[in-house]
Amino acid sequence: MNIRISATDLVRNLGDVLGRIRYRGDTFLVERNGDPVARVVPVVDRPTATVAEVLAAWTAEGVADPAFARDLEEVGAADEPAADPWDS
């Protein structure tokens, strides 16, 4: 996704912008006074995998561990929101 951003907004939100570039692959066009001055893009040499490659690796691992599924169920059941979110 190509997003226009002012230099001021880039400075104020640098952490968020870098996260969006790294994890979502967003591209930012940086403008100063409405004029484009730079483009911030993801690094192209990062390793990537297709969905088919990920699925093949996942299925190649063999049989799922039923104990792990039970552990996940227990963690999910124990993760209850507080009755009063303001009570610490």
pLDDT at site 9: 96
Alpha-carbon span 75 to 15, nearest angstrom: 31
pLDDT at site 16: 96
Q: What is the pLDDT of residues 14-70, one digit of tens each?
A: 999 999 998 898 999 999 999 999 999 998 766 778 888 888 888 888 777 888 888
Side by side, the strands of the sheet bearing 27-32 are 2-6, 27-32, 35-40
SS3 assignment, position 39: strand
Alpha-carbon span 81 to 63, nearest angstrom: 33
